């Protein structure tokens, strides 16, 4: 590996390190209570270093959201390209969403469970080509394919997608925040939630 490649890899690693530290502090201490200096102290770099990668704290949170959505989109896209029964494919996607949140709790909470500050333009996170909308479109595509295949009755796909997202976000959030709750079994609850939601869609409820 040459010097240029090594430096590029180091920069990429440091950028991710900054995002990881920022997402953890935003979640634990609140966005308003976190400064660029605190983030720098956590990773043992100077604030000047962080400003090389991000213009301010709002930019940092925006990039946390975009990169979290982007990684989720990458995972869901691979599932959507798999052949087979559309219902089972939809279930695999729902499971992947929940597992992604549990594997990345700080990023998930910073992206999906924190109020977005006014400094960040909501529109930028919800434009048609944004990672956030691409992630949500997985549900729209998945349910649409089930309807076309006759596995689900005709329905308001937009409403059904938002309802299903509310369900998987709910179980993901609960498992992150209340991990010590006496669940009958994390996997059992996850699969029961997914099966119940999908069965409800199939029954037209």
pLDDT digits (tens, 9 = 90+) for 125-169: 556 556 567 778 899 999 999 999 999 999 999 999 999 999 999
- pTM (2 decimals)? 0.84
- Check if the beta carbon of residue 184 is closer than 8 Å to that of residue 113: no
> Which of 117, 135, 14, 118 has its CA nearest to residue 66?
135
pLDDT surpassing 90 at residue 8: no
How is residue 126 written in tokens? 């919800």
Q: Which residue has the higher pLDDT, 38 or 69?
A: 38
Residue 119: pLDDT band with limits 50, 70, 90: low
Residue 205's pLDDT is 53
DSSP E strands in the chain: the ranges are: none
Domains of the chain: 1-54 (1.10.10.60), 58-202 (1.10.357.10)
DSSP states of 125-161: HSSTTSHHHHHHHHHHHHHHHHHHTTSS-S--HHHHH
């Amino acid at each position: 590996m040459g010097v240029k490649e090594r430096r590029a890899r180091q920069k990429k690693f440091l950028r991710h390190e900054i995002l990881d530290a920022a997402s953890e502090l935003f979640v634990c201490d609140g966005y308003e209570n976190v400064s660029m200096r605190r983030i720098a102290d956590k990773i043992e770099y100077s604030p000047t270093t962080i400003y090389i990668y991000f213009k301010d704290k709002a930019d940092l949170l925006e990039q946390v959201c975009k990169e979290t959505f982007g990684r989720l989109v990458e995972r869901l896209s691979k599932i959507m390209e798999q052949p087979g029964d559309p219902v089972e494919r939809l279930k695999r996607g729902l499971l992947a969403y929940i597992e992604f949140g549990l594997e990345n709790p700080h990023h998930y909470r910073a992206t999906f469970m924190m109020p977005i500050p006014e400094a960040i333009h909501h529109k930028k996170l919800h434009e048609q080509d944004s990672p956030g909308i691409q992630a949500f479109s997985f549900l729209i595509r998945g349910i649409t394919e089930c309807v076309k295949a006759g596995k689900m009755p005709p329905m308001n796909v937009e409403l059904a997608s938002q309802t299903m997202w509310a369900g998987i976000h709910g179980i993901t959030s609960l498992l992150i925040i209340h991990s010590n709750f006496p669940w009958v079994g994390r996997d059992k609850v996850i699969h029961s939630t997914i099966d119940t939601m999908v069965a409800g869609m199939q029954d037209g409820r």
